[in-house]
Structure 1
Amino acid sequence: MRNRLLLCLGLSAALLLSSCSLFGGKAEEKKQDRAPVAADQLPQLGNPLLANKGDINAVNLNVATEEELRNFDNGAEGELIFSDPDDIEASEEQINALYENRRRGNGWISDYSTALRLARRTERPMLIWFHDSMASPKSNALAEAVLNTPSFDSWCDNRVIRVLLDDSETTDEFTGHKSRYSLNDLRAMGRRFGVSRRPAVVVVSMSGRVTPVIDGVDDTDWKAREAEICKALENAESDYEDYKDKLRDKGYRDWTRSNRRGTFFAKLQRVDRARGVAYLRQVGGRVLRMRLKSMTAEDAAYVESRSPSSGSKKN
């Protein structure tokens, strides 16, 4: 009896040790999966002001003053604000202006859908830059010579919605997670706009007309490239004005914004006098609500002439 008991205890101990070794093996296996990456393999931030900011071989530069920064920067630092360390609140006005600038669609936008909504709302042409910051030296040169210069930035402000789609930023450089667009998405989007090389620059009028301006760079006459881009944007503005003239016969007109800051182009869709609002349809399909009491005398008179009774709708 005693021998049987010892035998049972021995078998139980053996099974227990076997189970522990199995679980221990799995735990060790998980630890191996989580092993740290060697220091020389970690992605480096590099200089965030350069076009190839994801390049792990980018040179890190340390600067202590604004003057030192501007000595090596190519003008792409337009959104940097240097605050006074002894009076931080003195920079509040500049910071607020920066946020307002972004809200109005100035600067480069990496989300095409967001840019399109802004372009429709502001009635500005879109400039789409198909970039490859890692594999296209000519695209980086185009950035430094034209697209990221203060003069071009000033020319585009409050006039153009700019979209930057970079083939080299389709994967997050730190986590490895995919970003908004895959490389296939960007290539397919380029083909849809009639370009296949890098760099490529496309201008889109809000009438829907697409003009490929650059599809690869075969020479380095940057002044000529800049002139071509600006001319295409001016043509897009004129094209949209011609398009608007055709739509005026269909009931579209310019309306003054409630805050009296500019106008927008839309068609009166219907009026709800019970709520005191008019529904105005823009070219892209977006419907805006505007309070009747907030309208200018001219706009209110137009609404009254087109919709004298509650809920009526006229073209």
Structure 2
Amino acid sequence: MRTFQSFSLLLGAALVALTSCAKLGSGEKKPDEEAQSPFGASGIPPQLRAKSPESGTPVTPGGNAPSANSSLKITPEEDIVFTDPDNPDATLPELATLLAAPKRRGPWEESETIAKQRAAREGKPLLIWFTDSATSPMCRALSQELFNTPDFQGWAAEKLIRLKVDAFIDVHDPDLTIDQINTRRIDMKNYVARLKKQYKILGQPSLVLLNPSGEVVGRYRGYKRGDAQYFWGLIKHGEAVSANAYKEWRSGLEKKGYREWEDRNKRKVFARLTSYSNGTLNLIEPDGTRSRTEEGKLSDKDRDWITEQKKLRNMQ
């Protein structure tokens, strides 16, 4: 009798244990079952999960209701600071001075600094020509067959900023002493060597095309007589690629408050207004160059824009 009771108790305990295991196992998937689901245990595609970066932008309260200021195309408040008239920044250079065209000896710049500043300010790609005018026949051929032709010069004047880096150093300045001439020659050799190393130039002629922000968009090495049109086509393609990229870059900056300003002499600069005080404007260009100008020196269009901004802020 006792044996039968013990057996019954053991049988009951086993049934309870099996029932519990069945309940626990019913909510879990076996590894092979989970592997059969292409979206994992959740069954939800990754792009639709809440924490996925592809799941979209959460809808803010108000749904698709238009914003009250959606029709006002003005620069955001955080991008313009109207300063205290008693605390203007007096250390900035005058914009007219920066926009004044530097004196150049020819169509090719000789200073990398000036060439890059012009490229950034004018929104044009920079073509750097590494040459050796004294010892390289192909450099002379490229100059004669393409760079010195009226057609190329007219096109390049509109589309490019040009910089020539000549390995042949020739210093002629009657105002310099012999020691000063030697020092100038050494400085220029170091300048050429630095640029050749920076742009990985191994021979001449070599050309490098930079977009207005200074990124390399094209490299052209060597030249063969009679290939002027083909070589020009390569440069044109690089210029077109740079122009398209510049449009996107500029559009992105316009959303951050940058715009084109023009003075009374029709000179233009792409910059953002950082502060305004009693008719004085402080501007910053994309490359960080800061300048100051007066409202009266700007175009009528710019002055109308300033008037609109002042009205929006209830300024007299």
TM-score of the two chains, using structure 2 as the length reference? 0.57
Aligned to 1:222: 228
Aligned to 1:292: 295
- Residues in 2 aligned to 1:290 and 1:221: alpha-carbon distance in whole angstroms: 48
Map 1:87-106 → 2, pairs under 5 A:
103=103
- Residues in 1 aligned to 2:148 and 2:119: alpha-carbon distance in whole angstroms: 20
Map 1:96-245 → 2, pairs under 5 A:
103=103, 107-169=107-169, 177=182, 178-179=184-185, 181-217=187-223, 220-245=226-251
- Measured on the aligned residues, the alpha-carbon RMSD in Å equals 3.0
Unaligned runs of 5+ in 1: 1-99, 311-315
Instruction: Specify the code of the residue in structure 2 equivalent to 1:201.
Output: L
How far 1:136 sits from its partner (Å)? 1.2
Query: 1:194·1:212 contact (CA, 8 Å) conserved in 2?
Result: no
- Residues in 1 aligned to 2:253 and 2:283: alpha-carbon distance in whole angstroms: 14
How far 1:115 sits from its partner (Å)? 1.9
How far 1:126 sits from its partner (Å)? 1.3
Aligned to 1:278: 281
* SS at 2:135 equivalent: coil
- Residues in 2 aligned to 1:181 and 1:139: alpha-carbon distance in whole angstroms: 23
1:263 aligns with 2:268: yes
Aligned to 1:37: none
- Residues in 2 aligned to 1:236 and 1:105: alpha-carbon distance in whole angstroms: 26
Aligned to 2:259: 253
Query: 2:116·2:214 contact (CA, 8 Å) conserved in 1?
Result: no
- Residues in 2 aligned to 1:156 and 1:196: alpha-carbon distance in whole angstroms: 25
- Residues in 2 aligned to 1:104 and 1:272: alpha-carbon distance in whole angstroms: 36
The change in CA–CA distance for 1:309 and 1:267 in structure 2 (over 3 A counts) is farther
Instruction: Specify the code of the residue in structure 2 equivalent to 1:279.
Output: N
How far 1:239 sits from its partner (Å)? 1.9
- Residues in 2 aligned to 1:255 and 1:105: alpha-carbon distance in whole angstroms: 28
Deviations 1:235-292 (A, max 9, x none): 2222222210111121111223233x2532110110121xx21111112222232322
How far 1:146 sits from its partner (Å)? 0.8
Bigger relative contact order, structure 1 or 2, given CA contacts below 8 A and separation 6+?
Answer: 2
The change in CA–CA distance for 1:309 and 1:277 in structure 2 (over 3 A counts) is farther
Instruction: Specify the code of the residue in structure 1 equivalent to 2:193.
Output: R
Deviations 1:30-55 (A, max 9, x none): xxxxxxxxxxxxxxxxxxxxxxxxxx
Instruction: Specify the code of the residue in structure 2 equivalent to 1:268.
Output: L
* SS at 1:207 equivalent: coil
How far 1:181 sits from its partner (Å)? 4.3
Higher mean C-alpha deviation, range 220-229 or range 241-250:
220-229
Query: 1:170·1:180 contact (CA, 8 Å) conserved in 2?
Result: no
How far 1:186 sits from its partner (Å)? 1.4
Deviations 1:148-170 (A, max 9, x none): 21211111224322111100126
Query: 1:108·1:163 contact (CA, 8 Å) conserved in 2?
Result: yes
The change in CA–CA distance for 1:102 and 1:122 in structure 2 (over 3 A counts) is same
Deviations 1:169-227 (A, max 9, x none): 26559956233844343133123224322111111111222134312336752211111
Query: 2:119·2:212 contact (CA, 8 Å) conserved in 1?
Result: yes
The change in CA–CA distance for 1:181 and 1:221 in structure 2 (over 3 A counts) is farther
Query: 1:109·1:164 contact (CA, 8 Å) conserved in 2?
Result: yes
Deviations 1:119-163 (A, max 9, x none): 233332211111101121111111011112121111122432211
Larger radius of gyration: 2
TM-score of the two chains, using structure 1 as the length reference? 0.57
- Residues in 2 aligned to 1:108 and 1:180: alpha-carbon distance in whole angstroms: 22
Higher mean C-alpha deviation, range 162-171 or range 239-248:
162-171
Unaligned runs of 5+ in 2: 1-99
Instruction: Specify the code of the residue in structure 1 equivalent to 2:290.
Output: V
